[in-house]
Amino acid sequence: MSDTQAVNPINEIAERRRKLQELKDAGLQTYAERYERTHTASQVHDFAKSNPPRELEAITADPKATIKICGRLILMRPHGKLTFAKLKDHTGSLQICFMQDFLGVDQYKLLKKIDIADFLGAQGELFVTKHGELTLLVKEYQLLSKTLRPLPEKFHGLSDTETKYRYRYLDLISDDETWLRFQFRTNLIKEIRRYLDENQFNEVETPILTNVASGAAAQPFETHHNALDIPMYLRIAPETYLKRCIVGGYDRVYEFAKCFRNEGIDPSHLQEFTMLEYYAAYWNFEDNMDFTEKMIKATLQKLLGKLQVELVDREGNKQSIDFSGDWPRIEFAELIKKDCGLDILAHAGDAKGLLSEIKAKTIAIEKADTMGYGNLCDALYKKVSRPHLIQPCFVIKHPVDTKPLARRNDQDPRLADTFQLLINTWEVINAYSELVDPVDQRGRLESQAAAKDAGDEEAMPMDEDYLLAMEHGMPPISGWGMGIDRFTALLTNQDNLKSTVLFPIMRPLQNDQN
């Protein structure tokens, strides 16, 4: 709590409250209803390019007060009868100037009641200082909102990472890098949505509260529906409902979905996160890979203006990532065999046999004794192979047991028609040709349910309602899921997903703020 304590000394808070009361006692407005600005900060700078500011002497002799801006006061430098300040809004900041002889004695004295972090509206005309800075000479100003607590460390920002997460609004105010990161996230979603819409996808909404915790292999959050008196779950993923849309006649659907997984806390996993999932009828996983590569290249070119970028890996080392060219496609089992010499397909479906081989090679996997074959394969891959995948590549054809909702490969029934997109060791996308055979799907869900009964907490339960939908007929489908938080973290060089979420889940403090 050192940051927040430092920026909120009790005596300064008391002083601000005193000024507030004095303003009220004088009958002055302290919390305005509205303010009609003519320009944002960035628009003022654009305006000045086509409308050269007049000289200061000309303005004071014949004031026009053509500009009205508003924002948070982030700097004040009084110099006797002259005060320079800065106002900041969502587009940037602008220097403003208060001159006692121009503003009037009473209005200038009132500045003593104004503090850093207060919201102001200011009207005046632009000029350029001797140092070349575009400045608004204030003819009139209005206090829009009195702030009772000072900004972090006199606006030098928060230094403690946890404090940044807990008090994100202060982080946004004091750190332009944070602001730009979240603006990048917004633009990323906009560009992906635009690309999908232009390729005949329909955006839909599916339930967050579900009767069955399906859609992915993970431990769910459980709750209770009081009116129906039944247990319910926060969705793990929207997959099975989006596929129901395909059953109902949609051709291509997508959803930016809030998802929930009741897993352990670490920098690369969030319990509440945002997934983009889409599904396209009549595609297979290879069609999907082709589309995915084109979409991401187009999105990055639009956002970054290039396809060669420098990213930081999990160890903090800089890596030059090249998104241009054709991305390699590497088979899952062959990758593991190359990296540790273990043939996972020789033990297809046999968790005990595979575990014995893993132990024989002294490969340590946490909770391996509780895992079914599919999750054990996935854990092995993450241990021995994923850390080496730096450049964009597709890892394809995972064992069927690792993907209970994926279509079985026609040539090798031990495998599924799947791919994952790996970038800088991060799993960005998980995709496959969807399983549309209800008989095969029932058998796999039964195997998952058995693994769950045997102690695998992340195995999927039976979902009879989804099986019922499948039995009414599904066309060929391929789709995928992308973690928006993870993709944003990757592209903005963040080592913790909380840095890409405005208000991440935090343990509440006993005594948060006095």
pLDDT single digits (tens) 408-450: 999 999 999 999 999 999 999 999 999 899 999 999 888 888 8
Higher pLDDT, 483 or 216: 483
In sequence order, the 6+-apart residues with CB closer than 8 A to the CB of 166 are 506, 509
What's the mean pLDDT when you consider all of the chain?
A: 92
Minimum mean pLDDT range among 5-14, 114-123, 174-183, 205-214: 5-14
pLDDT exceeding 90 applies to what percent of the chain?
81
pLDDT at 513 over 60: no
Higher pLDDT, 162 or 95: 95
Average pLDDT over residues 197-210: 97
pLDDT of residue 107: 96
Handedness of CA 413, 294, 245, 463 (dihedral sign): positive
Note the pLDDT of residue 401: 85
- The pLDDT value recorded for residue 154 is 45
Span 468-478, mean pLDDT?
96
The pLDDT value recorded for residue 153 is 67
Alpha-carbon gap, residue 155 to 341, rounded angstroms: 55
175-500: CATH topology is: BirA Bifunctional Protein; domain 2 (3.30.930)
pLDDT of residue 137 exceeding 60: yes
Q: Which two tokens stand for residue 55?
A: 């000289």
Q: What is the mean pLDDT of residues 326-335?
A: 97
Using a cut of 0.85, tell me whether the model's pTM lies above it: yes
Among 105-119, 221-235, 277-291, 310-324, the range scoring the smallest mean pLDDT is: 310-324
Q: Map residue 468 onto helix, strand or coil.
A: helix
pLDDT of 158 above 70: no
**Per-residue H/E/C for 104-119:** CHHHHHHHHHCCCCCE
Over residues 221-271, the pLDDT tens digits come to 999 999 999 999 999 999 999 999 999 999 999 999 999 999 888 888 899
Per residue in 382-398, pLDDT (tens digit) is: 999 999 999 999 999 99
When pLDDT is averaged across residues 23-50 and rounded to a whole number, the result is: 96
pLDDT score for 313: 86
Higher pLDDT, 33 or 511: 33
Give the pLDDT score at 1: 39
For 216-248, give the DSSP string: SSSPPEEEEETTTTEEEEE-S-SHHHHHHHHHT
CATH 2.40.50.140 segments of the chain: 31-145
Beta bridge partners of 324: none
CA dihedral 78, 169, 489, 491 (to 10 degrees): -40
Which range of 150-154, 197-201, 356-360 scores highest in mean pLDDT? It is 197-201
Q: Alpha helices, DSSP H only, in 199-230?
A: none
What's the number of CA atoms in the CB half-sphere (13 Å) around residue 447? 19
- Nearest Cα to 219, choosing from 461, 481, 462, 457? 457
State residue 7's pLDDT score: 45
Q: Among all chains, which residue has been given the structure tokens 């529906």?
A: 225
The pLDDT of residue 4 = 47
| C-alpha–C-alpha distance, residues 460 and 403, integer Å | 10
CATH code matching the domain that covers 31-145, chosen among 2.40.50.140, 1.10.238.10, 1.10.260.40, 1.10.2020.10 = 2.40.50.140
Residues 118 and 73 sit within 8 Å (Cβ to Cβ): yes
Q: What is the pLDDT of residue 157?
A: 57
Q: What value does the CA radius of gyration of the chain take, rounded to a whole number of Å?
A: 29
How much helix, strand and coil, in percent to the nearest 5, is found in the chain?
Answer: 40, 25, 35
Sequence-distant (≥ 6) Cβ neighbours of residue 80 within 8 angstroms: none
What is the rounded CA–CA span in Å between residue 449 and residue 452?
A: 5
Q: What tokens were used for 114? A: 């104004």
Type of residue at 413: P
Mean pLDDT within 162-183: 93
Helix and strand counts by DSSP (H, E) for the chain = 17, 18
Task: Mark residue 465 as left, alpha or beta (left: phi above 0; alpha: psi -120 to 50; beta: remaining).
Answer: alpha
Return the higher-pLDDT residue of 458 and 475: 475
The answer to whether residue 155 scores a pLDDT higher than 80 is: no
Instruction: Average the pLDDT over 92-120 and give the result.
Output: 96
Is pLDDT of 5 > 50? no
> CATH 3.30.930.10 occupies which residues in the chain?
175-500
Which phi and psi angles does 105 have, rounded to 5°? -60, -45
Using one digit for the tens of pLDDT, what is the confidence trace for 47-91? Answer: 999 999 999 999 999 998 889 999 999 999 999 999 999 999 999
